[in-house]
Amino acid sequence: MDTKKKCDLICSLGGNCAAAHNLRYRNMRNFALPFDWCFIQTTKALERLCDGFQNGFKDFCLKENLVQVESNKAHSIIFKDSYSEYFFPNHFSSTDLNQEYDIFYKKFKRRVKRLISQIEESENILFLFSSILNIEKDYFLRLEKVLKNLYPEKNFEFRVMLFKQNEDKEEIMGNIHYIYYLRDFNLYDYTKTNFEWAFLDSINLNKKRKRTKMSFSLFNHKIEIKWKRK
């Protein structure tokens, strides 16, 4: 008997890249979503995230709001969206924004469209957020309310993993599970895994088909096309 928790969609909200990596590490990242490889440094980003779900993220990643910021040890080129406060460290290979913006923006909008489509097609949805920020609970309570207003028939859960906190503890508020860790992130959170991510092993993810098949007739010849989601 399978006693694993069933879930149709698991989505990273991009506090940093650790959640997306740990999903990929377990072969649970079936497709790319908009906040997989992003990070934030202020809670303003969570306010904008709520607004984004309400308006289809139409104000995210506009060219006039993208600013190059100082690089770090892991990423040589980082752009920040000054509107949303999301940082994009894995999306540009050139400091010339004019050269790559159109490709970047189309990719972002494609992933937003996919996220919305996946939510509409799913019943049980888990959002992951991981960060070292000190997050007030009101942000995720508001996000839950926004999503329930948009999709009243869906079951939303949130797992908020906060590292480098004052103590190890857990708090559950309805469908929002807050976990606080004393330790900071380390290399294994981004390259392999750590025991804090073992909860993912207890989830039975409904892996939707990555490959879609379409066929049609043209001049009495049947043509079959296959493609893979990007």
pLDDT tens column, 15-49: 999 999 999 999 999 999 999 999 999 999 999 99
pLDDT the model gives residue 73 = 85
d(CA 61, CA 48): 12
Domain locations along the chain: 7-228
pTM comes to 0.88
Tallying the residues shown for the chain, one arrives at 230
pLDDT the model gives residue 90 = 83
Q: Where are the beta strands (DSSP E) in the chain?
A: 5-7, 9-12, 39-40, 66-69, 78-81, 86-88, 124-131, 155-162, 169-173, 176-180, 203-205, 211-218, 221-228
| One-letter identity of residue 92 | F
pLDDT the model gives residue 225 = 39
pLDDT the model gives residue 226 = 42
pLDDT in tens, the chain (230 residues): 456 899 999 999 999 999 999 999 999 999 999 999 999 999 999 999 999 999 999 999 999 999 999 998 889 999 999 999 999 998 999 999 999 999 999 999 999 999 999 999 999 999 999 999 999 999 999 999 999 999 999 999 999 999 999 999 999 999 999 999 999 999 999 999 999 999 999 999 997 644 433 333 333 333 343 444 44
